Structure 1
Amino acid sequence: MKSSKPTIAEILDRFTQEVLYGEVVGSTSDCGVIRLGVDAEAKISVEAGGLRFAPLDTPGWGRQGIAYGPFTWQAGLAFGVFMLNGHNNSQSFPRGSGPASNMLLGAHFSSKQLLENLAVGWFDHPASERPLETGQAFVMQGHPTANGRLCVAKVQGLHHLLLDMPNVPIYFLIVLRAKGVAFYAGSLEGNRHLPALPRLRPLAIDPYDLGAKQVYAGIYQSILGENGHRVDTRVYGVRVATVPGWQGHGTALVVDPQPQLGRKATLGGVWQLDGPGMLLRPDEPGGLFHVRLTAPASLIWRYRDPEHYLALELTLREARLSLQLGGKQHVLVAERHNFNTQEPHWVQVLDNGHALNITLDGSPLFGERPLLESRLGQETGVGLRGQAADLEVHPREIKLPPTLELGQPWQIKGQQTVFAPYLNQAAEDLLITWEPTMGSGTLMPAEGGLTIEAAGLERTIYTIPWDHPQLADLESEILPPEQHKKRQSQCRAGVCFWQDAQHHLVVTLWLDKTEHAVVSMLRFAGYEDPHSKVWTHVPGKLYLGVPVKLRVVCDGMQFQVYLDDEPVLYRALHDIYPGADRLEIQRVGLALSGYAEDTGSIFRTWIARK
């Protein structure tokens, strides 16, 4: 009989010592434990205080990743990772998927499309070739139109969670339980899906065991890049430790394997009959509901009284979400299903008080996009009707235990306004204030602001002097052109952080009939790789003819991009070009990217802060 390997109790790896490409697997971590994993192409390194995964030339699982372990499976053992995925929408393309597809330099083509690009969690092997089948992990999945989808790999398959994940740092936390795994995540202030660290959002429960007595904490990458554009993944810290308070029911508000009227739940109180079914009243609103229903049955939440609540009903012929409000039932959405009365189904609801993400056996119910519903958002009652089992309710947010903290994301903003011209009345002296810095385009007055009339595909930049070289916070309300009936309308307008012609950062909107994105372009030492543009798809936030507020903060080493106050893109300059020095910001201003023509975007406001 094969003996088990000696196990490890905990890990803390902050990647403080640089390691060359190809030498990370087998190197010693900060805490003295050997880093395991696989690096088939010698693309993993440690540099500038973080682990770096460079894009694989041949994509696929089992070729790139690091792992720690083995660990003995025990309740309360938590694996935390603070990281920035290279691109959440990384994916390969089916070979021959379009007439111009094979012309995309650097794009990956395969007979079978590879959508899942990242897996972070617990696995039964330190270099798994099938991490989605042999692990319980967060998974990032590419998407045809959105900026990727966050999923979890469970014992019974892939479970969809959140669509449109901006390219910003995320803290992933995966906690082992006596049976199964719990998943949590946190990010930046203003993130539409996740709370700001050190707060985390409970996101999923896997009630089943992996079946391994010993497991490995791993981070695996299968592919990086989209449409030929690539950028490295960075991991800032890894922590594995036992949280004693999570060895029982963890963060749950309600737990009951066999709910029964009049009986005390395992956690959460005594089930009482009230209106539509049997009810419990936790102390705070639930954010994650996980239950097994056999039709006909219902999950009830946001319950105030018999006339005010939400209900997800599985009938024999459909799934239906209804709102009971003031004694009237409003069917919000319904979807046809033929449910067998003998077959239970796993239902999960994510509820942040404003939006609902509902899945049935791991697949989105009522469409991929969240259902916006804020009514009764602060009510706490939870109920069941019909045959139900294995109910768990977790809060909308929890606090990350101090023992698992791995630092805070960079999110600085300017506090003092330096320059805020009134662009709506573009007097001659205001136009003179902006100096032509690059390109032959002309800054002109336009209705409601200023516009740059550019010559062809040339980058055009107009700037003002800047006396604060280590921080600039630029904000502009930009009105993309209206949709034109006879020619394509395009927006390529944005802002610029300028050191000189050889060193500058441009961040612009990228809007036309096929693309809705925010794109950053860095020129360093005179070099600008067109395939190192870093972007985030924002299909629900950019429209032709609709003004939008673009805000970019840069300290010369890193930058954060906001669209209507939501963080959508973060990068350090050395993430794009390894070894890049600080950008000394000497001038700031307005810009057209030079990648495709801008057909008449208008800068309506412009604010510079330090």
Structure 2
Amino acid sequence: MTVSVAIDVGPRDDSGGLLVADAFSDDRAAGTVIGTHTTNGVIRGGCDSERQIAIDHGTLRFQPLVKPGWARQGIAYGPFRRASGLVMAVSVTNGHNTSQGTTIGEHILRRIHRWALGANADPWPNRLVSWACGPRKKGTFRRFLWWARSTRTTYKLPDFNENLALGWFTSDAPRDPLSDGCGFIVHAAKGENGELWTRVGTRCLSAFRGLKNLQIYYFVALRERGAIYYAAAMEGAHGLAAFPMMRPIAIDPFNDDETLYAGVHQCVLGQIGFRVDTRIHGIRVHKVPDLTSRFGTAHVGDPMTRDAVASDIAGRSGSWRVLRGNVDRTDTGAVGGDGVALATSDPGVPSGLIHAIAATGDTPGACGLAWRVRDGDNFWLFKVSGEGSALIRVEQGAEVILVSDARRSLAPDTLHSLQILDGYGQIGCYLDGDRLFGIDDQPLEEATATGIWFDGAGGVEMRDFETHPREVPIPPFVLFEAPWLRLGHHAEIVDDFAGPFGDLAGRAPRIGGGTWGKTSVSA
């Protein structure tokens, strides 16, 4: 089921920038959500081909598809005209970040037998009676149908390793969010749970692996061209800022789609036959004033053009220091002189996201992004040229090449995106959205200056340099309720599960009465 909205009747800005506010306060049975209205009266578009989208207990529910695939399950709002500072914010708990659509190796009869036995906590006849008296028998039959269609002989679809997409897309039911619009993608990372991707140009940028199955807040802020991505979760979540802060994740400088839909789309739920529903706690679309400027939340932002300072277009550029050689501004960007050149600007706090455009000529020269700069002899460098790329640590003036790749280089007469994601114990270096290098390291962690680097005159020009803090406050316009976390003053039961290896049943917790026991749940 798909509902489209004509371009001339899209959501209007009639409340100080708020365009969509969906708190899912209206209960809706499965299959009846698409076409209804949000909290502020906007039509809920999208697709629900198997009628498995519902609303209950104040959240939207995506139930597992029998047939996986994009453009089969999702909710969308719009269309909208691209505008700087237009933000889509989503609070979501993905059912399973490792969800994949593929064959199940185990024979279906053996799988049904295992399902009937369960955890062996109760005799299987008792489990069947409990299931017969339970409320979710329809869900069990859908599970059996899913298993039947996922055997080696019956599964005829391509493998799906990406399961969730959210952000801005060119339709309300995108057929391939991996090549459409500006959005987050959750990729199945097997033993590392999920891998968080963002769309950058024609690629998907891998921000980090180990994405946990928690309630996560995603923010995609459109720019005049492209978008900037942010995310947050509860304190301690791997790779993410602690709510109410958000982490700048990536910048896409390329996408220029003019008409876009804000949407959340599920391709598949479950892995090797087991699954759990996705819950969306809230969605907002808002024109955020602080993100309408050219560089948004950047603490250093500079077009690097000759007229930038005179026209105050640089905004947060601060002061620049040339530590080596010569760096000059032109009408379109910054260039280096003969030999090595390094220019830096120090925001005073560590930067977590650094980005610039490298514009090459007929014969690309060498350039790079420098960060964690203490002085001209101590800094980190992501170097790219027409001959390859490298991640370099400069210590006491000596270059230490940590990793290099001669295959990934600058192309002639091309606009390239250079990007560094630094923080939470990891460093990632990206060229046009491709992750070239990723390491875990801490040296020069306290150094805060960032900048641009050249080796040789001509051949490459640096444009639109910007650096963002490792975390920034979530704008109040798109601030959801805090993630659920309740800690009392008195601990009733505490257990660290220390002790000899063996069955937990029958053991007592470290603090509190009673013992651990097995239970069974029929589904």
Q: What interval of TM-score do these two structures reach, taking the shorter chain for normalisation? A: 0.7 to 0.9
Offset from partner CA, 1:158-179 (integer Å, 9 cap, x none): 2221112111111000111222
One-letter amino acid of the structure 2 residue matched with residue 323 of structure 1: R
Distance 1:420 1:248 in 2: 50
Q: Which residue of 1 aligns with 2:98?
A: 89
Q: Which residue of 1 aligns with 2:9?
A: 6
Distance 1:344 1:103 in 2: 55
Q: Does 1:304 align with 2:370?
A: no
Q: Which residue of 1 aligns with 2:349?
A: 284
Deviation, structure 1 residue 383 = 1.7
Q: Does 1:18 align with 2:27?
A: yes
Distance 2:57 2:268 in 1: 23
One-letter amino acid of the structure 2 residue matched with residue 303 of structure 1: V
One-letter amino acid of the structure 2 residue matched with residue 360 of structure 1: L
Q: 2:483 aligns with which of 409, 412, 422?
A: 409
Going from structure 1 to structure 2, the CA distance change for 1:353 and 1:384 (only over 3 Å counts) comes to: farther
Going from structure 1 to structure 2, the CA distance change for 1:47 and 1:467 (only over 3 Å counts) comes to: farther
- 8 Å contact 1:262–1:272 — kept in the other structure? no
One-letter amino acid of the structure 2 residue matched with residue 305 of structure 1: D
Moved more, 162-171 or 354-363: 354-363
* Unmatched runs of 5 consecutive residues or more in structure 1: 424-447, 470-494, 505-522, 530-610
Distance 1:150 1:199 in 2: 18
1:180-259 residue pairs with structure 2 within 5 A?
180-212=226-258, 214-249=259-294, 250-258=296-304
Deviation, structure 1 residue 390 = 3.1
Distance 1:380 1:50 in 2: 42
Q: Which residue of 1 aligns with 2:522?
A: 528
Q: Which residue of 2 aligns with 1:148?
A: 194
Q: Which residue of 1 aligns with 2:464?
A: 390
Q: Does 1:272 align with 2:321?
A: yes
Deviation, structure 1 residue 261 = 12
One-letter amino acid of the structure 2 residue matched with residue 7 of structure 1: G
Distance 2:452 2:370 in 1: 6
1:584-603 residue pairs with structure 2 within 5 A?
none
Higher helix fraction (1 or 2): 2
Q: 1:49 aligns with which of 24, 43, 58?
A: 58
Q: 2:409 aligns with which of 339, 351, 356?
A: 339
Moved more, 345-354 or 193-202: 345-354
Going from structure 1 to structure 2, the CA distance change for 1:262 and 1:155 (only over 3 Å counts) comes to: closer
One-letter amino acid of the structure 2 residue matched with residue 269 of structure 1: G
Going from structure 1 to structure 2, the CA distance change for 1:67 and 1:307 (only over 3 Å counts) comes to: same
Q: Which residue of 1 aligns with 2:433?
A: 362
Q: Which residue of 1 aligns with 2:119?
A: none
- 8 Å contact 1:182–1:205 — kept in the other structure? yes
Going from structure 1 to structure 2, the CA distance change for 1:256 and 1:156 (only over 3 Å counts) comes to: farther
Deviation, structure 1 residue 102 = 11
One-letter amino acid of the structure 2 residue matched with residue 133 of structure 1: S
Q: Which residue of 2 aligns with 1:71?
A: 80
Q: Which residue of 1 aligns with 2:131?
A: none
Q: TM-score, normalised by structure 1?
A: 0.66
Offset from partner CA, 1:201-226 (integer Å, 9 cap, x none): 011111123422x3221111111111
Distance 2:314 2:87 in 1: 23
One-letter amino acid of the structure 2 residue matched with residue 74 of structure 1: A
Moved more, 202-211 or 103-112: 103-112
Going from structure 1 to structure 2, the CA distance change for 1:79 and 1:450 (only over 3 Å counts) comes to: same
Q: 1:58 aligns with which of 55, 67, 74?
A: 67
One-letter amino acid of the structure 2 residue matched with residue 395 of structure 1: P
Query: What root-mean-square deviation, in Å, do the aligned CA atoms of Structure 1 and Structure 2 show?
Result: 3.2
Q: Which residue of 2 aligns with 1:549?
A: none
Q: Which residue of 2 aligns with 1:130?
A: 176
Q: 2:398 aligns with which of 320, 324, 328?
A: 328
Q: Which residue of 2 aligns with 1:512?
A: none
Secondary structure of residue in 2 paired with 1:59? coil
One-letter amino acid of the structure 1 residue matched with residue 279 of structure 2: R
Distance 1:99 1:328 in 2: 56
* Unmatched runs of 5 consecutive residues or more in structure 2: 14-18, 113-145, 325-340, 455-459
Q: Which residue of 1 aligns with 2:331?
A: none
Offset from partner CA, 1:414-458 (integer Å, 9 cap, x none): 5545577999xxxxxxxxxxxxxxxxxxxxxxxx83343x5xxxx
Going from structure 1 to structure 2, the CA distance change for 1:340 and 1:101 (only over 3 Å counts) comes to: farther
Deviation, structure 1 residue 403 = 1.6
Deviation, structure 1 residue 338 = 5.6
Deviation, structure 1 residue 462 = 2.9
Going from structure 1 to structure 2, the CA distance change for 1:374 and 1:464 (only over 3 Å counts) comes to: closer
Secondary structure of residue in 2 paired with 1:211? coil
- 8 Å contact 1:296–1:341 — kept in the other structure? no
Distance 1:199 1:45 in 2: 30
Going from structure 1 to structure 2, the CA distance change for 1:271 and 1:422 (only over 3 Å counts) comes to: closer
Going from structure 1 to structure 2, the CA distance change for 1:313 and 1:464 (only over 3 Å counts) comes to: closer
Higher strand fraction (1 or 2): 1
- 8 Å contact 2:7–2:79 — kept in the other structure? no
